[in-house]
Structure 1
Amino acid sequence: MTIATTTLGKAAADAAATLVPSSVPLVAVPASFADVPVDSTAMVASFVGSPSAELAVVADGAVADAVAAAVEAGTPLAPVDALRPALEAASRALGSGVLETVRTEPVSKVLAEDTEVYALTAGDVPVAWFAVRVRGARVTTPTTSQVPTPRANLRMLYDVEMTLTAEIGRTRLPVRQVLELAPGAVLELDRTAGSPADVMVNGRLVARGEVVVVDEVYGIRVTEIVAGGEQVG
């Protein structure tokens, strides 16, 4: 069976292999998604960049050993934290971007036929598994008869995920006051109660809205779209 891989996927797998907890060096070898044990748990993180991707490491045994060693040393370690360095290394191989919070998911929900999978092996024995699934359109070189229009160029970005942040206010403090902060301290922000919150993408103001609660989760109801987007310093 031919296993499809990409140079970018292999680079990400090689980077992850160096930081998966193991007493011996691991080597990334192309594998099939069907080779990964279906009863295992995957540590998954979304990477938002160019390209954006879903990254996953399956390493139940390595994680259990790392957690046990940390407990024995008196420094408890969460399972997701044991594999975050490997996922961070893989994300850096993809390029600049942001790696979201690591979460756990069943292998059956993570792997599919369009996922690049690599066995992280010691010798010929798989110790862990790495998977990467690139989201969005891949860039190809157009022919002279297929030059994309501006709208087509924009459509290629539709699946790229972006991180939105909401800001209810700011303040400026001298270093001395920052160092003196303690639980219970109250900071006065630069806007009055009830003022709209700013919705920003990569530090650029795109909208304003009011803070709401939806099923016990905070949300923003957009009340104004900011034309052109203002850069927030």
Structure 2
Amino acid sequence: MSATSDVLDPTALAEAVAEAAAAALPAVTPLTPAPAQPGSPHVTAAFAGGAVAELDGGVPGLVVVLVGTELVEALASSPLGGLDVAAAVQPALDAAALRLGARARGARTLDLDSADLDISALLGGAFSTVPLIGAGIAAAVLVPETTLAGARSPISPEDAVPTAAEAVAAAALSAGDGPEPFVPAFGAPAAPPRGLDLLQGVDMEVTVELGRTRMTVRDLLALTPGAVLELDRAAGSPADLLVNGRLVARGEVVVVDEDFGLRVTEILDANAAV
């Protein structure tokens, strides 16, 4: 029996896992876990989207987070184009995994409308469901019973090995380059986040593109070390900045402490970013 199982019974552990996930899940109002209940194969019918992540670190199984229409619609209405539910839910899955004494792998989005989706089969059999209550049932955390039985002592965020993205963000924050926290004016009520404000904590994949070219398979197979590829862009032309594959800005390539960087010179509006 694991150290975690000695302290909490499976029901209490499922609720603790859901509480950790709720704190990291974007939501208009704070989310509170409801009592855990036996999982139903029809639970996905009450939600608009979801994501799943397998666990590493000796804890078997996976964790699923289901979300309601509010978050799904906010992701779909992003000016950067439709954003992935898995990216928005990843921090919640990471927090749930740490509470189980594990680390979450990269999340993948669940197609809840697919006729092939069998949530019980995905979770490997019996599972617990913990609804997350905000303005109604906003989300839910699903954890297999085998995962709860195999849980280990919780890992604190401070002790967790950071991912590459987390390490870069932490370095920027310690250097004073991170965003300033929002502080409401004295006496003014802090308005809850609405719409796209829900997405402020979502990680995005940012790519800098110098240029492109097209090659035949024959030319690709003929590549050797030292070969030079001619791109479709003149020397000195600005590089493209893409977010999740969508062009949002241009700039010039610079070197910062022996690393490449991009000095942004132009921000493109939604109509130009194609």
TM-score (norm 1): 0.48
More strand by share: 1
TM-score (norm 2): 0.42
